[in-house]
Amino acid sequence: MSERFTGSFTQQEPIPEAGIKAALEVLQHGRLHRYNVAEGELGETALLEQEFAQLTGAKYALAVASGGYAMGCAMRAIGVKAGDKVLSNGFTLAPVPGAIASLGAEPVFVEVTENLTIDLDDLAAKIDSSGAKVLLLSHMRGHLVDMEALMATCDAANVAVVEDCAHTMGADWKGVHSGRHGIIGCYSCQTYKHINSGEGGFLTSDDDEVMARAIMLSGSYMLFERHAATPPVEVFERVKYDTPNISGRMDNLRAAILRPQLPMLEAQVDKWNARYAKVEEGIRNCPGLHVIERAPEGRFVGSSIQFLLPGYRPEQIESFVQGCAARGVELKWFGAAEPKAFTSRYDSWKYAAAQSLPQTDRVLAGLIDMRLPLTFTLEDCSTIARIITDEAMTLSQSVAAQ
Ligand SMILES: *Cc1c(COP(=O)(O)O)cnc(C)c1O
């Protein structure tokens, strides 16, 4: 009998006791709306923002309804308008081009490298050819590009960078928290990311006016003084009449669930990375399978792992994925003709102008992606690595026999 794995790839850890207790307190006092606070009270959401700003090293933070909302709000706050072109990664997830489309703006996709980071040469070329003034940079699956090189290219061309840090909360580039290089960092606290409130997100920035606009946009009415990690009141005076209210606030219940998770993040990252290392070590020397190296300049969060199966035909990869699935190992393949679950591709987003990214096509054709929930034990990770290796060997042997 071949080995099988029986764990769940979508089971998260429970909310920490302190979060459950704090959530119950909010439910008991009933002040769930972030601006519904008692005399002298800051409220869970304002406190969460203060603590998140501290964690990332940002001057200001704003908690919002989702990561997708954070990206749309960020682009509005820096003045992106309908019809504007916005550069973004050819390899990312659907909420990223979706946020661009939500403004009526037009995504211009940039090629991905074999390391799953944005291709800096193609970025420079697309900045020139498109004339775009904004890059929505997705740190897809936590692979960080050389951030100094990227910022040098963008700064020289006067391109504003908004960072999508849905997979890099807790990660850094040379000690600088992910999201701190661009003008705005956007984060998600949706269940499958690094902290969990079901839905939720953050924006961070050091820029007074950008953050004042983001706060107004998120639905602050004229209650912006009830924020803590916020620009001075006089900045709001300059923006409060011409910034529309596009409600997308965080509420005190979610904030209560999240606050105790922030001080745990470092230790959670260590746990993820220990699991990641186990799987990586197990599959590293498998013939025909190419592990994607993580940049040594950064600390990443191993909440998922990717590898390449270069040179196989689609039906061969399909049968490898099915072979793993039959043994309880759930893999996602970005090369399938039809998008499944989370795996849509730039050519699935038909609301954007058709674009050709031959290098991205080549990489995605063999790209396999696997989630690593913290409910896996290290032993689970070794089992999973053995099954992947075994199936990859079968794949390479079946090809050699042809
Ligand atoms: C999840 C995700 C988002 C958006 O997060 P939501 O909170 O689900 O809106 C953005 N970018 C990437 C790459 C994501 O995976």
Residues in the chain: 402
The amino acid occupying position 200 is G
140 lines ligand 1 (CB under 6 A): yes
77, 87, 295, 360 from 129: Cα distances, Å: 25, 11, 29, 19
56 lines ligand 1 (CB under 6 A): no
Structure-token match 């959401």, residue found: 45
The angle at the Cα of 69, spanning 68 to 71, to the nearest 5 degrees, equals 65
- The DSSP call for residue 140 is G
CA 279 centroid distance within chain = 21
Q: Where are the domains of the chain?
A: 17-264, 265-401
Q: For residue 384, which of 279, 271, 305 has the smallest C-alpha distance?
A: 279
Query: Number of helices and strands (H, E) in the chain?
Result: 13, 14
CA 186 centroid distance within chain = 8
Digit-by-digit pLDDT tens for the chain (402 residues) are: 689 999 999 999 999 999 999 999 999 999 999 999 999 999 999 999 999 999 999 999 999 999 999 999 999 999 999 999 999 999 999 999 999 999 999 999 999 999 999 999 999 999 999 999 999 999 999 999 999 999 999 999 999 999 999 999 999 999 999 999 999 999 999 999 999 999 999 999 999 999 999 999 999 999 999 999 899 999 999 999 999 999 999 999 999 999 999 999 999 999 999 999 999 999 999 989 999 999 999 999 999 999 999 999 999 999 999 999 999 999 999 998 888 888 888 999 999 999 999 999 999 999 999 999 999 999 999 999 999 999 999 998 887 776
**Hey, which of 10, 75, 88, 96 would you mutate to test ligand 1's pocket, going by the most ligand atoms within 8 Å of its Cβ?**
96
Q: For residue 91, which of 394, 318, 348 has the smallest C-alpha distance?
A: 348
C-alpha 63/C-alpha 272 separation (Å) is 25
**Hey, which of 89, 188, 193 would you mutate to test ligand 1's pocket, going by the most ligand atoms within 8 Å of its Cβ?**
188
17-264 classified as CATH 3.40.640.10: yes
166 lines ligand 1 (CB under 6 A): yes
261 contacts 19 by C-beta, under 8 angstroms: yes
Secondary structure (3-state) at 212: helix
66 lines ligand 1 (CB under 6 A): yes
Question: Which atom of ligand 1 is found nearest the CA of 200?
Answer: 7
171 contacts 301 by C-beta, under 8 angstroms: yes
C-alpha 279/C-alpha 288 separation (Å) is 16
304 lines ligand 1 (CB under 6 A): no
What residues contact 24, with CB distance under 8 A and at least 6 apart? none
Bridge partners (DSSP) listed for residue 85: 106
What residues contact 234, with CB distance under 8 A and at least 6 apart? none
261 lines ligand 1 (CB under 6 A): no
Which numeric CATH code is attached to 265-401?
Answer: 3.90.1150.10
281 contacts 385 by C-beta, under 8 angstroms: yes
The amino acid occupying position 45 is T
Dist. CA 102 → ligand 1 center (Å): 14
Dist. CA 139 → ligand 1 center (Å): 11
